[in-house]
Amino acid sequence: MGAWVPVPGDVAARYRDAGYWTDQTFPGLLDAAVQRFADRTAVIDTETRWSYRDLELATERVAAGLHGVGVRRGDRVVVQLPNVAAYVAVLFSCWRIGALPVFALPAHRDSELLHFCTVADAAALVTADRIAGYDHAALAQRVAARSARPPVLVLLAAPAVVAGPAPREPVVAPENLVPTHDLAAWLAGSVGPAPVATPSAPDEVAFLQLSGGTTGTPKLIPRTPQDYLYSVRESARICELTPDDVMLVALPAAHNFPMSSPGILGVVHAGGTVVLASDPAPTTCLPLIEAERVTVAALVPPLALLWLSSVGRPARPGRPRPDLSSLRLLQVGGAKLVAEAARRVESELGCRLQQVFGMAEGLVNYTRPEDDFDTVVDTQGRPISPADEVRVVDADGRDLPDGEAGELLTRGPYTIRGYYEAADHNATAFTADGFYRTGDLVVRRPSGHLTVVGRVKDQINRGGDKIASDEIENHLVAHPGVLDAAVVGVPDQFLGERSCAFVRPEPDGPLAGPLLVDPDGSADRAADRTAVERELRAFLRGRGLATYKIPDVIVLVAEFPGTGVGKVSRRELRQRLAADAAPAP
């Protein structure tokens, strides 16, 4: 099997005949916006305010820069940038020359970036010097030093607002540093003219999105212009976007939700304005809503809770409450929004709520403007397209009637048929006839609306950030003092879930101290435990794991329940441990 799995020819023909799939490409999307809305504001960040014409110029300049350092049609480019206007230009510049961006998140570290560069065989890595105080220039150098084929490094000098305190990360020895290229200089027009290049065709893979992951290594998701842009256009229509809309992007721009549901691309399609927030805190975002007259924003549930609590507090003397009257729609998705919070959005923020249940693999569900209040509060919406096929099945794969909880399987005009370069994993992640096994437990209503009620995949959804249990366990058992580990989600009022690692130390190993019987009670076992937890966290950070993957709680145990009696499957073990784990204090 090749690098990716296309939709079968007869199905593709059906999607084209139905008008779902068109010949639109990503450069075509930008061109159309430039032609219709040239002087309207396209993208705003703290230091930049670009019209569509400016965005086009920036795109041409970065395309010239990428081409100048050897990036060609079909090459992969890992992009890890904060929420800045340049990010949008970098994406369109890759598409302009037919290169495939790989959407890394700012939170990713050595482990993830090296993996993306390796699996995608990346020609270039585009990042910033620093993001939120972390030294991404050093990170990029470490990744290059460890890559079989080091990517060309392109760095954006960190804008003051996303920089932070001085970096303290391990650095690569000066003699091993690879030369870097200056993205800011490219944006200022240091290279040119833009190359003559052919963008990828509508039916070719145009970028690689990231999966939340359920296995040891995060999978890459190949998306084509014809499938992705169909979902973008329909999302813009469902959200009633117009050229007058101003969308606040507070989540990391690379995430599939703010990118495409309808996100940045939906706004470009509509000719509206994207406002990129440097961080999602209400103290940053609420004043930005007032200043830019933001009309739509997209959040994960914990942020929605923060915003609600922020507007619920009495205004401080001398600091008037930001005027949020421009905001017409708050989208919340990525994790389950509890109904109590959903109920408060409209009255407390003065805007409509839309629940969004999507996945980077494809299927996206929205509650609709015409849905009644209870449907908006109690469901996570219904699919975008009449051609989205949804099955709800029991553990044996048998279809269940509406109203019964089962696993959601889906297939459709913008859902992938397989991950990138992952034939083995694809054999279990998809059914033989091409349905994606989402791992989500849902209940369907006769109207097609879905309510997410749980999960059968070994993943933790930490307030929208996805963590594969298996990946963290593999890192933990690499520690010489760890015999075994199981990572589970435990309930958390704010995040929905937080991650808890149960760790069995090697009986005679360096971490066993806290578990030893202490006959005279003289040893301070609690202090020992704290020291071990600190050691394990530092160990995981040292292995270059993204910050959100470091377990919130580490529990040392002498053995796992049930494993003494006979073999217990890891899944069953995780379920038992999650059930045993005390909820957050």
Judged by CB under 6 A, the chain residues 370 through 409 that form the site for ligand J2J are: 380
Q: Which position among 440, 492, 497, 528 is part of the footprint of ligand J2J (CB under 6 A)?
A: 440
Distance of alpha carbon 186 from alpha carbon 193, whole angstroms: 11
Q: Which is nearer to ligand J2J, 202 or 212 (CB)?
A: 212
Q: Please, which residues have CB within 8 angstroms of residue 309's CB and are 6 or more apart in sequence?
A: none
- Per-residue binding string, ligand J2J, 232-271, x by CB under 6 A, is ------------------------xx--xx----------
- Does residue 219 touch ligand J2J according to CB under 6 A? no
- Does residue 410 touch ligand J2J according to CB under 6 A? no
Classify residue 546 by burial, with Cβ atoms within 10 Å: 0-12, 13-18, 19+. buried
CA-closest candidate to residue 462, choices 486, 502, 503, 491:
491
Q: Which is nearer to ligand J2J, 181 or 466 (CB)?
A: 466
CB of 102 to ligand J2J, least distance (A): 15
CB of 568 to ligand J2J, least distance (A): 25
Judged by CB under 6 A, the chain residues 142 through 181 that form the site for ligand J2J are: none
Residues making up the chain, counted from first to last:
585
CA-closest candidate to residue 574, choices 434, 456, 405:
456
Give 399's DSSP letter: B
- Does residue 359 touch ligand J2J according to CB under 6 A? yes
What strands, in cross-sheet order, belong to the sheet with 406-411? 389-393, 406-411, 436-444, 450-455
Judged by CB under 6 A, the chain residues 27 through 86 that form the site for ligand J2J are: none
Q: Which is nearer to ligand J2J, 463 or 544 (CB)?
A: 463
Q: Which position among 46, 273, 278, 355 is part of the footprint of ligand J2J (CB under 6 A)?
A: 355
By CB under 6 A, how many residues form the interface with ligand J2J? 22
Q: Is the dihedral of CA 402, 407, 410, 414 positive or negative?
A: positive
Q: Please, which residues have CB within 8 angstroms of residue 375's CB and are 6 or more apart in sequence?
A: 367, 447, 449
CB of 380 to ligand J2J, least distance (A): 4
Judged by CB under 6 A, the chain residues 103 through 132 that form the site for ligand J2J are: none
Q: Which is nearer to ligand J2J, 278 or 461 (CB)?
A: 461
Side-chain-facing half-sphere of 89: CA atoms under 13 Å = 32
- Does residue 26 touch ligand J2J according to CB under 6 A? no
Q: Which residues pair with 246 in a beta bridge?
A: 273
Q: Which position among 33, 335, 409, 487 is part of the footprint of ligand J2J (CB under 6 A)?
A: 335
- Say if strands 406-411 and 436-444 run parallel, antiparallel, or are unpaired: antiparallel
Place of tokens 């990713």: 108
Two structure tokens written together for 434: 């091409």
- Per-residue binding string, ligand J2J, 175-214, x by CB under 6 A, is -------------------------------------x--
CA-closest candidate to residue 305, choices 330, 322, 323, 284:
330
Q: Which is nearer to ligand J2J, 461 or 499 (CB)?
A: 461
Cα→Cα distances 243→84, 177, 266, 337, 353, Å: 21, 46, 11, 29, 21
Q: Please, which residues have CB within 8 angstroms of residue 218's CB and are 6 or more apart in sequence?
A: 112, 115, 116, 210, 211, 212, 468, 471
Q: Cβ-closest residue to ligand J2J?
A: 358
- Does residue 353 touch ligand J2J according to CB under 6 A? no
- Does residue 334 touch ligand J2J according to CB under 6 A? yes
CB of 235 to ligand J2J, least distance (A): 8
CB of 423 to ligand J2J, least distance (A): 21
- Does residue 414 touch ligand J2J according to CB under 6 A? no
Q: Which position among 41, 127, 375, 438 is part of the footprint of ligand J2J (CB under 6 A)?
A: 438
Residues that bind ligand J2J (CB under 6 A): 212, 256-257, 260-261, 333-336, 355-360, 364, 380, 438, 440, 452, 461, 466
